[in-house]
């Protein structure tokens, strides 16, 4: 279990598949908030307090969990909500300690899509056979021997691109992983740059 302190109100916990298996857990168990998942959560909070002074007593928490692209790691982000983040509510009796809840992410309308390509030839074939606007913003990454393009194309073009490359789920989390650990090859104008290279 690796715990990173992002700031005073946020930590990121990285767990391996083996660590979950030791506790008879998997990603589905986390989603359904089993007793084992709750035990794991409080163990994480205890370790975070010991290592980073991250105290959660009397705090409202926002918790997100996501699997990595290769499903070998699971990332749990815990954020302490400030008063300004909370809507006013009537005074109630003190509730039990917060449970670990995993939200199923829905890509917003303005969120980027991420397309995974097993090799560069797939991208070449896409660009050769498809008319892609020069002003379409797209960034190309290389990560773990695969290529990823982050973009937000129009609906029809999105369908065409997805025939050549695989659409990656949890795009918000994966985009962060690519930005931090991926090799950025072409920024913003990936499609037009590749198209221009084919014309030479």
- The band of 151, judged by pLDDT with boundaries at 50, 70 and 90, is very high
DSSP 5: E
Instruction: Give, in degrees to the nearest 5, the angle at Cα 118 between 117 and 123.
Output: 45
CA distances from 147 to 26, 69, 98, 137 (A): 28, 12, 39, 16
Contact 183, 142 (CB under 8 A): yes
Buried b (16+ CB within 10 A) or exposed e, 78-105: bbbeeeeeeeeeeeeeeeeebebbbeee
Contact 112, 175 (CB under 8 A): yes
Model pLDDT for residues 108-144, shown as the tens digit of each residue = 456 789 999 999 899 999 998 888 998 999 999 998 8
Containing H/E element for 14? strand 10-16
- Whole-angstrom Cα Rg for the chain: 20
Whether residue 19 has pLDDT greater than 60: yes
Helix axis angle for 120-129 and 190-199, nearest 10°, is 80
Q: What is the CATH number of domain 113-199?
A: 3.30.70.1950
Model pLDDT for residues 45-86, shown as the tens digit of each residue = 888 889 888 887 777 777 777 766 566 777 888 888 765 544
Q: How many Cβ atoms are within 10 Å of 172's Cβ, its own excluded?
A: 14
What does the mean pLDDT of the chain come to? Answer: 79
CA–CA distance, 114 with 149 (Å, rounded to integer) = 6
- Portions of the chain given CATH number 3.30.70.1950: 113-199
Helix (H, G, I), strand (E, B) or coil at 41: helix
């Amino acid at each position: 279990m690796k715990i990173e302190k992002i700031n005073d109100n946020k930590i990121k916990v990285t767990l391996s598949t083996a660590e979950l298996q030791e506790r008879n857990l998997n990603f589905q168990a986390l989603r359904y908030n089993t007793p084992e998942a709750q035990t794991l959560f409080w163990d994480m909070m205890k370790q975070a307090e010991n290592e980073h002074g991250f105290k959660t007593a009397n705090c409202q928490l926002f918790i997100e969990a996501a699997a990595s692209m290769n499903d070998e790691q699971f990332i749990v982000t815990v954020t302490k909500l400030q008063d300004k983040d909370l809507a006013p509510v009537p005074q109630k009796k003190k509730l039990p300690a917060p449970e670990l809840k995993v939200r199923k992410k829905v890509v917003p309308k303005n969120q980027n899509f991420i397309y995974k390509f097993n090799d560069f030839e797939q991208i070449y074939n896409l660009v050769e056979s498809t008319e892609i606007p020069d002003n379409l913003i797209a960034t190309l990454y290389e990560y773990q021997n695969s290529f990823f393009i982050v973009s937000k194309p129009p609906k029809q073009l999105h369908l065409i691109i997805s025939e050549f490359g695989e659409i990656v789920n949890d795009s918000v989390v994966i985009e962060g992983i690519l930005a931090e650990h991926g090799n950025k090859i072409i920024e913003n104008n990936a499609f037009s740059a590749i198209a221009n290279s084919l014309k030479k």
